[in-house]
Amino acid sequence: MSDLTHFNEQGRAKMVDVSDKQETVRIAVACSSIEVNRLIHSQISEGTNKKGDVFAVAQVAGIMAAKQTSSIIPMCHPIPLTGVNISFQWDIDESAGRYVVRIEAEAKTKGVTGVEMEALTAASAAALTIYDMCKAAGKDMVIGPTYLQHKSGGKNGDYDRS
């Protein structure tokens, strides 16, 4: 006699069906950041990091990671990204010795699911790449907070972080 329990009805994972969702233009913006020390700040700013131009490499890393999102995040649907844009901005408080790189990643598609994960993955990969390129000058860097800033497109309405 067989035990007929189907295990997927007991809480395991599936990639949910989105066949019926509408194809629309969808945009998501995610933010992350990485706090670095004074030495790392000057290496990045003056282009003296021995591994190369930190922001240039981090930007490419973020864009390429965005395209790999559905192979990194298991239940994430593959979608054809139509655009990715990543920017960096220094947020510096010299007196407090605080040097923070603000990372903003925008992802865009014309597809059936949102691109929140693509934007979040891009921002995370960019931050991790900065960590990698600068870690010889200090391993105390802290990444995050990382969060969704904005989302538009799709039937659930827009989202803006308050």
Reply yes or no on whether 20 is catalytic: no
Q: Would you count residue 117 as binding its own copies (CB under 8 A)?
A: yes
Q: Return binding residues for substrate.
A: 75-77, 117-118
Name residues whose C-beta falls within 8 Å of residue 55's C-beta, 6 or more positions apart in sequence: 44, 88, 130
The reply to whether 39 sits near its own copies by the rule CB under 8 A is no
Q: Residue 60 class from Cβ within 10 Å (0-12 exposed, 13-18 middle, 19+ buried)?
A: middle
Catalytic, out of 132, 140, 158, 160: 132
Residue 77's CB is within 10 A of a number of other CB atoms, namely: 17
Sole binder of its own copies in the list 37, 38, 42, 77 (CB under 8 A): 77
Distance of closest approach, residue 10 Cβ to its own copies, in angstroms: 8
Tokens read off for 85: 């844009």
47 binds its own copies (CB under 8 A): yes
- Output the furthest CA–CA distance in the chain (Å, rounded): 74
Q: Is 158 in the site for its own copies (CB under 8 A)?
A: no
State yes or no: residue 43 binds its own copies (CB under 8 A). no
Chain-centroid distance of CA 134 in Å reads 19
Residue 96 interacts with its own copies (CB under 8 A): yes or no? no
Binding mask 124-153 for its own copies (x = CB under 8 A): xx-xxx-xxx-x---xxxxxxxxxx--x--
CB nearer to its own copies: give 38 or 67. 67
> Contact, 79 vs 66, CB < 8 A?
no
| Residues labelled catalytic | 132
